[in-house]
Amino acid sequence: MEEIKKRWYVVRAISGKEKKVKEYLDVEISRLNLQDYIGQVLIPTEKVFQIRNGKKVSKEKAYLPGYVLVEAALVGEVPHVIKSIPNVIGFLGTEKGGEPSPMRLSEVNRILGKVDELSETEEEMKIPFVVGESVKVIDGPFNNFSGIIDEINEEKKKLKVMVKIFGRKNLLELSYMQVEKEI
């Protein structure tokens, strides 16, 4: 039997249900014996750090919410099987009733590269704050105080936050992990 050519497709899923879609897909692949037609099913995730009860906790978060990457050969029943999975909206890049369009190899490599890069550099955080932004202190003696970011030190991953305490403005130096954006 000749090699079946698989390409990468983006499957739109209901946001927050990506893991369920992957689980269902994996079950369907083995149940219907589609391993030859469907290769990998990926959810691009990144590690996010939060402070919970004074401890630094890392958590996996989908970095393309609502999308699941599927390496598949869309022949016969395969597209129908994928579309009929609960929480799947359909393929990305299709006109209604049209053929799903595969991803360009450069896009796939960029996303897969980004996933690898994110798992390797989990300690390196992007700067999630901007000067003038309103933040809430979530750790330390000033817990639950709100303030405005005055200065950002990227190297030390510290912020200078102007907080009103007893009617007077005070400048606090806090780490990225001690504050969260105010909603």
pLDDT in tens, 140-152: 888 999 999 999 9
Confidence at 183, pLDDT banded by 50, 70, 90: confident
Residue 109, pLDDT score: 84
Q: Hey, what CATH class is 7-120 in? A: alpha beta
Confidence at 47, pLDDT banded by 50, 70, 90: confident
0.85 surpassed by pTM: no
What CATH fold (topology level) applies to the domain 134-181? SH3 type barrels. (2.30.30)
The DSSP-derived string for the chain is -PPP--EEEEEEE-TT-HHHHHHHHHHHHHHTT-TTTEEEEE--EEEEEEEETTEEEEEEEESSTTEEEEEE---TTHHHHHHTSTTEEEETT--TTSPPPPPPHHHHHHHHHHHHHHHHTTT-------TT-EEEE-SSTTTT-EEEEEEEETTTTEEEEEEEETTEEEEEEEEGGGEEE--
Q: Where are the domains of the chain?
A: 7-120, 134-181
Backbone φ and ψ for 148, nearest 5 degrees, come out as -115, 135
pLDDT in tens, 90-131: 998 767 767 888 988 888 888 877 666 555 554 455 667 889
Place of tokens 């954006």: 181
pLDDT in tens, 50-91: 777 777 778 888 888 899 999 999 998 999 999 999 999 999
